[in-house]
């Protein structure tokens, strides 16, 4: 599971759904979006609140030389740290401003994109795949 700390920058709510915008602690110039099935009135959601963002390795899409528009809101500019190749899948370790993000993609995708250690890539995660929890200060 990938984990990044951040601070809630904005919350938009409709009914019991909240779109939460978070500034990652490690790179506050970025903005990450998460959908939460809860409202600020009944949850830990408030602007300025510290949270941890969680997302699975299998939910991290990798783009190389990405340009243009896409509906995926969460884009992490990363450097490839390492690639662990299996027979079908590969675990790609990414450096996001000093934090490690893991992605599990097919070996075919690694080969097709010609991903190598040191490459600049974009890690993409859909808004509905980011979970948030109150930040644990321990």
Tens of each residue's pLDDT in the chain, 138 residues = 999 999 999 999 998 899 999 999 999 999 999 999 876 766 678 999 999 999 999 999 999 999 889 999 999 999 999 999 999 999 999 999 999 999 999 999 999 999 999 999 999 999 999 999 987 755
Instruction: State residue 138's pLDDT score.
Output: 53
Closest CA to 7 of 46, 35, 54: 46
Q: Which fold has domain 2-55+127-134?
A: OB fold (Dihydrolipoamide Acetyltransferase, E2P) (2.40.50)
Instruction: State residue 38's pLDDT score.
Output: 74
Instruction: State residue 137's pLDDT score.
Output: 59
Task: In whole angstroms, give the CA distance from residue 126 to residue 138.
Answer: 28
Q: Distances in Å between the alpha carbon of 130 and those of 36, 70, 73, 111, 133?
A: 9, 17, 11, 27, 10
Contact assessment for residue 95 and residue 103, using Cβ atoms and an 8 Å cutoff: no
Q: Which fold has domain 57-125?
A: OB fold (Dihydrolipoamide Acetyltransferase, E2P) (2.40.50)
Total residues belonging to the chain: 138
Give the residue range(s) of CATH 2.40.50.100 domains in the chain: 2-55+127-134, 57-125
Tokens standing for residue 59 = 């939910």
């Amino acid at each position: 599971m990938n984990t990044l700390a951040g601070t809630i920058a904005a919350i938009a709510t409709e009914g019991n759904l909240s779109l939460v915008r978070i500034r990652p602690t490690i790179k506050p110039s970025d903005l990450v979006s998460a959908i939460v099935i809860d409202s600020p009135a009944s949850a830990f959601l408030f602007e300025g609140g510290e949270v941890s963002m969680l997302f699975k390795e299998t939910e991290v899409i990798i783009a190389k030389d990405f340009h243009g528009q896409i509906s995926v809101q969460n884009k992490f500019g990363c450097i490839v740290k390492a690639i662990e190749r299996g027979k079908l899948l590969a675990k790609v370790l990414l450096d996001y401003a000093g934090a490690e993000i893991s992605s599990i993609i097919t070996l075919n995708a690694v080969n097709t994109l010609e991903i190598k250690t040191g490459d600049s890539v974009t890690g993409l995660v859909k808004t509905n795949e980011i979970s948030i929890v109150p930040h644990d200060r321990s």
